[in-house]
Amino acid sequence: MTRRITVLAGGVGGARFTRGLLRAEPEASVTVVANTGDDLWLAGLRVCPDLDSLMYTLGGISDDERGWGRRDESERVSAELNAYGVGWPWFTLGDLDIGTHIARTSMLRDGLPLSAVTERVAARWNLGARLLPATDDEVETLVTVAADGGATERVHFEEWWVRTRATRPALAFTQANVAASRPAPGVLDAIADADLVMIAPSNPVVSIGTILGIPGIADAVRQTDAPVVGVSPIIGGAVVRGMADACLTAIGVETSAEAVGQHYGARRHGGLIDAWLVDSVDASATRALEAAGLRAHARPLWFTTVDETAAIAADAIALATS
Amino acid sequence: MTRRITVLAGGVGGARFTRGLLRAEPEASVTVVANTGDDLWLAGLRVCPDLDSLMYTLGGISDDERGWGRRDESERVSAELNAYGVGWPWFTLGDLDIGTHIARTSMLRDGLPLSAVTERVAARWNLGARLLPATDDEVETLVTVAADGGATERVHFEEWWVRTRATRPALAFTQANVAASRPAPGVLDAIADADLVMIAPSNPVVSIGTILGIPGIADAVRQTDAPVVGVSPIIGGAVVRGMADACLTAIGVETSAEAVGQHYGARRHGGLIDAWLVDSVDASATRALEAAGLRAHARPLWFTTVDETAAIAADAIALATS
C-alpha cells in the first residue's frame, strides 16, 4: 500500500526537505501542511511566501541560487509600485511571482478559500505532493518589539524579518485571530490518517509553531497513530538558514538541536514527536534526548544536494519507523 | 487670466487631441473629463483603459507606435495569468501597465474613490492637465448582441471591442447602473466654470456618449456659459481610429461628420455644441451644419504630428471663440 506521509513545513527549508523526501520516497503519497503565518496583504495582493516557496521548489521553478522566488525573475512591476508609493519598497516581488499573487487574489476575491485556491494554482505545476495551507483563515504572525519611551509595538512578521532583518529583539510572537481559526479542510485528516508525520527543519516558532497553534492541529499530531519524526533546524548551536535564533530566544528556548527537540517534546510525555534527527556535531545530545523519551539519531543534516537531502529524509523515516 | 478649458475625452484619440491642445495652449488650465465606460475588473484588478491612455500619452510614456499602452512594455505577468487560467487570454496587459492597475486597485480597496485614486496615480507624471474620471461609480458599457436561437446577450464592451473586434453587430449599448451614477467631484464645476468646453474626436457613442449619459453632465454642457466645440472623429465617412461606425450604426446615426455633428446638436436648439470642426473632405457638410445652428469649419483633421494636432486644436478654439 502506498505510504502516506504528512509533512508540516515552513518555506524554503521545508520546501527543500520535501523535495528530498519526494526523491527518497517517489511512491509515497505526500501531503504538505504549510505555514501561512507569513502571509500578508501587500498592494492589495495576497502574498503567501511559504506556500509559494513550496510550490516553486517542488514545481522545479525556484531560484535556488538566490534562495527564494522563481528563476529568471524580473522586477518591473515592483519598480512601478515603488514609484507609485504603493506597497513596501523593501519587499520586492518578482514579476512572475506577482502573476501568482494576482491569480491567487483574484480567486480569493471570487470567494474561494485559500485551500481551494492553492489547489487550483498548484495544479499548473507537477508538484508530486498535495499542498495544503494550515488554515484558510488569515492568521498573520505579529512580532512585539520595543518602541520609543519604553512602549512596545507590534509589526507584521515580514516587516520584522525582511525590513529589519530580525535585528529588533522580539519580545513575543502572536498570531492574529489564531484562536478563532480552523485547520483547512484536509489538514486534520492528513495527520490522523498518515502512516508517518514529519516536522521539517523549519523555524520552530514562526513556521512550525504557527501551524501547531491553529486549534486542533497540535492535538491531531499528539493523537495520530502514525509515528512523528522531526529534523533539527539547528546545527551545532546555529541556525542553518533564516534567523530562528531570534525567534527561539523570544520564547525562551536555547538555540540548540537538543533544546528544540525538547521544546517539541516526546509524545509519550504529552509532546509532539517520537523521534528527532540531529546533525553529527550534535551527537552528544542524543543521550539526553533519549532520556527525555525521544528516539534520536545523529547524521549530517546539511542540504548540500537533493540526493543528500533525500538521504536525510530517508534516515528520518528509518528513525521513526525502525 | 488663465484660460480654463475642459475637454470631454475617450482614450487614444482623446489623449492625442489633448496633447495637441496642451501644445497649442501651454498657458491654459486644462481639465480632462475621461470616459470610464470601458473600465473593467480583470483578474481582480481595476483596469481603466481611457484614463490610462490619457495618463500615458500626456505623461509622455505612451507607446505611440503600437497605439496603446506604455513604451518599452513586456508581458510576463499576463503570460503567467494566462497559464493560471485567470483573466482574458485575448486581453493582454503589459507589465508596466499592470503596475498602474495594482496601484489603483490597492487604493480603491483602501476605500478611495476613483477620482482621488486618479489624482494620486497621475501625480507621478507631469501631465500638464487635470485628469478626472467622468464618475467615481462603476458604469460599465455593455453591448447587446445576437445570440443563438434568436436570443440576445450582453457582453462587456471590451469583450465585444477587443475579443471580437466589433464584428458581432451591436444591437444596443447600455451603461450598467448609469441612472444611479453621479459625476465625479469637480466634473460639473469644470464644465460650468470653463471658458471653453471641447469634445474630443472620440467615439461619440461609447466614449463621449457614456460621459454625457451620466446624470447631470449633459445638462451642465447645455447650460455652461462657455462655448462648446467638437472635433469630428469621422473623416470622409470613415472612422479615423477604432470602430465607431459599428457603434453609430447601433444608435441609428450615419457614419459621417455631418451626422455626428447633428447627433450632438446645436445648443441653441437644445443640443450640446455650438461649433463643429470637420475635415476638408467634409467641407460640403458645413452648410447643412450651419443651417442646423452650428458654427462649422473644415480643415485637415489627421493627427499626423503633435504640432499638426496643436494646429487642429487651435482652429477648434478659434471656431468656438471667434
Q: Are B51 and B26 in contact (CB under 8 A)?
A: no
DSSP β-bridge partners for residue B187: none
CA nearest A198: which of A174, A233, A234, A173? A233
B229 conformational bin, left if phi > 0, alpha if psi -120 to 50, beta if neither: beta
Contact across the interface for B43 and A121, Cβ inside 8 Å = no
Nearest CB neighbour to A44, from listed B77, B99, B109: B109
Nearest CA to CA, how far is A155 from chain B (Å)? 19
Nearest CA to CA, how far is A33 from chain B (Å)? 22
Nearest CB neighbour to A76, from listed B86, B96, B106: B96
CA nearest A264: which of A218, A314, A303, A220? A218
Nearest CA to CA, how far is A7 from chain B (Å)? 26
Q: Are B259 and B281 in contact (CB under 8 A)?
A: no
Pairs of residues, one from chain A and one from chain B, whose beta carbons lie less than 8 Å apart: 98
Q: Which three cell numbers stand for residue A106?
A: 483574484
Q: Are B295 and B320 in contact (CB under 8 A)?
A: yes
Nearest residue of chain A to residue B42 (CA atoms): A106
Distance of CA A14 to the CA centre of its chain: 5
Q: How much of chain B is helix, strand and coil, in % rounded to 5?
A: 40, 20, 40
How are beta strands B228-231 and B152-156 bridged, if at all? Answer: unpaired
**Tally of CA atoms within 13 A in the half-sphere of B45 that contains its CB:** 30
Contact across the interface for B80 and A103, Cβ inside 8 Å = yes
pLDDT at residue B322 tops 90: no
Nearest residue of chain B to residue A77 (CA atoms): B99
Nearest CA to CA, how far is A275 from chain B (Å)? 40
Contact across the interface for B109 and A76, Cβ inside 8 Å = no
User: If you average pLDDT over every residue of chain A, what do you get?
Assistant: 96
Q: What percent of chain B has pLDDT over 70?
A: 100
Instruction: Count the residues in chain A.
Output: 322
| Chain A residues within 8 A of B106 when measuring between CB atoms | 43-45, 86-87
- Give the whole-angstrom CA distance, residue A9 versus residue B185: 51
Q: Which amino acid is at B181?
A: S
Nearest CB neighbour to A77, from listed B79, B85, B98: B98
DSSP letter (8 states) at residue B180: G
Model-wide pTM > 0.90: yes
SS (H, E, C) A276-316: EEECHHHHHHHHHHHHCCCEEEECCCCCCCHHHHHHHHHHH
How many other CB atoms are there within 10 angstroms of residue B287's CB atom? 11
Q: Are B283 and B203 in contact (CB under 8 A)?
A: no
| Chain A residues within 8 A of B120 when measuring between CB atoms | 84-85
CA nearest A122: which of A214, A32, A41, A21? A32
Contact across the interface for A99 and B106, Cβ inside 8 Å = no
Q: Are A192 and A223 in contact (CB under 8 A)?
A: yes
Q: Which residues, including other chains, have CB under 8 Å from residue B45's CB and lie 6 or more apart?
A: A102, A106, B93, B98, B101, B102, B104, B105
pLDDT, tens digit, for every residue of B6-41? 999 999 999 999 999 999 999 999 999 999 999 999
CA angle A169–A172–A173, rounded 5-degree value: 115
Nearest residue of chain B to residue A121 (CA atoms): B84
CA nearest A267: which of A194, A320, A312? A320
| Chain B residues within 8 A of A87 when measuring between CB atoms | 106
| Chain A residues within 8 A of B45 when measuring between CB atoms | 102, 106
- Give the whole-angstrom CA distance, residue B283 versus residue B298: 5
Contact across the interface for B87 and A106, Cβ inside 8 Å = yes
Label residue A202 by pLDDT band (50, 70, 90). Answer: very high
| The pLDDT value given to residue A208 | 98
Contact across the interface for B102 and A124, Cβ inside 8 Å = no
Nearest residue of chain A to residue B117 (CA atoms): A84
Buried b / exposed e over B19-38, threshold 16 CB at 10 Å, is bbbbbbbeebbbbbbbbbbb
Q: Which residues, including other chains, have CB under 8 Å from residue B133's CB and lie 6 or more apart?
A: B33, B34, B36, B48, B51, B114, B115, B118, B184
Which sign, positive or negative, has the C-alpha torsion A173, A179, A182, A187?
A: positive
pLDDT, tens digit, for every residue of A284-297? 999 999 999 999 99
| Chain A residues within 8 A of B84 when measuring between CB atoms | 99-100, 103, 120-121, 124
Domain boundaries, chain B: 4-136+179-321
Nearest CB neighbour to A80, from listed B44, B85, B99: B99
- Give the whole-angstrom CA distance, residue A84 versus residue B92: 22
Q: Between 3.40.50.10680, 3.20.20.370, 3.40.50.2300, 3.40.50.200, what CATH number should domain B4-136+179-321 receive?
A: 3.40.50.10680
- Give the whole-angstrom CA distance, residue B175 versus residue B247: 14
| Chain A residues within 8 A of B77 when measuring between CB atoms | 77, 95-96, 98-99, 102
Label residue B182 by pLDDT band (50, 70, 90). Answer: very high
| The pLDDT value given to residue A251 | 93
Identify the burial level of B312 via C-beta atoms within 10 angstroms of its C-beta, where 0-12 means exposed, 13-18 middle and 19 or more buried: buried
Contact across the interface for B102 and A76, Cβ inside 8 Å = no
Nearest CA to CA, how far is B24 from chain A (Å)? 30
> Rounded to 10 degrees, what is the CA torsion of B99, B101, B106, B107?
110
- Give the whole-angstrom CA distance, residue B82 versus residue A202: 33
Q: How far apart are the first and last CA of chain A?
A: 18
- Give the whole-angstrom CA distance, residue B99 versus residue B118: 14
pLDDT, tens digit, for every residue of B190-210? 999 999 999 999 999 999 999
User: DSSP secondary structure string, A93-132?
Assistant: --HHHHHHHHHHHHHHHTT--HHHHHHHHHTTS--SSEEE
How many other CB atoms are there within 10 angstroms of residue A72's CB atom? 10
Contact across the interface for B86 and A103, Cβ inside 8 Å = yes
**Tally of CA atoms within 13 A in the half-sphere of A171 that contains its CB:** 10
Q: Which of B76, B78, B88 to mutate to test the interface with A (most CBs of A within 10 A)?
A: B76
DSSP β-bridge partners for residue B155: B143
CA nearest B117: which of B130, B98, B136? B136
Instruction: Count the residues in chain B.
Output: 322
- Give the whole-angstrom CA distance, residue B44 versus residue B49: 15
Q: Which amino acid is at A71?
A: R
Nearest CA to CA, how far is B35 from chain A (Å)? 23
Rg value, chain B, Cα: 19
Nearest CB neighbour to B81, from listed A85, A87, A99: A99
pLDDT, tens digit, for every residue of A213-250? 999 999 999 999 999 999 999 999 888 877 888 899 99
Label residue B241 by pLDDT band (50, 70, 90). Answer: confident
Nearest CA to CA, how far is A67 from chain B (Å)? 21
| The pLDDT value given to residue A244 | 84
Helix/strand/coil for B40: strand
Q: Please state at what angle helix B49-58 crosses helix B95-109, rounded to 10 degrees.
A: 120
| The pLDDT value given to residue A278 | 98
Nearest residue of chain A to residue B120 (CA atoms): A84
Contact across the interface for A103 and B121, Cβ inside 8 Å = no
Nearest CA to CA, how far is A121 from chain B (Å)? 6
What sections of chain B are H helices per DSSP? 12-24, 49-58, 76-84, 95-109, 114-122, 157-158, 187-192, 208-213, 217-223, 244-250, 257-264, 286-291, 306-321
DSSP β-bridge partners for residue A40: A47
pLDDT, tens digit, for every residue of A150-199? 899 999 999 999 998 888 999 999 999 999 999 999 999 999 999 999 99
- Chain A residues within 8 angstroms (CB to CB) of chain B: 43-45, 74, 76-77, 79-81, 83-87, 95-96, 98-100, 102-103, 105-107, 109, 120-121, 124
pLDDT, tens digit, for every residue of B94-148? 999 999 999 999 999 999 999 999 999 999 999 999 999 999 999 999 999 998 8
Sheet containing B29-34: which strands, arranged edge to edge?
B130-133, B29-34, B4-9, B196-199, B228-231, B275-278, B295-298
Nearest CB neighbour to A84, from listed B80, B109, B121: B121
| Chain B residues within 8 A of A120 when measuring between CB atoms | 84-85
Nearest CB neighbour to B103, from listed A81, A120, A121: A81
| The pLDDT value given to residue B99 | 98
Contact across the interface for B80 and A74, Cβ inside 8 Å = no
ipTM given for this complex: 0.93
Contact across the interface for B98 and A103, Cβ inside 8 Å = no
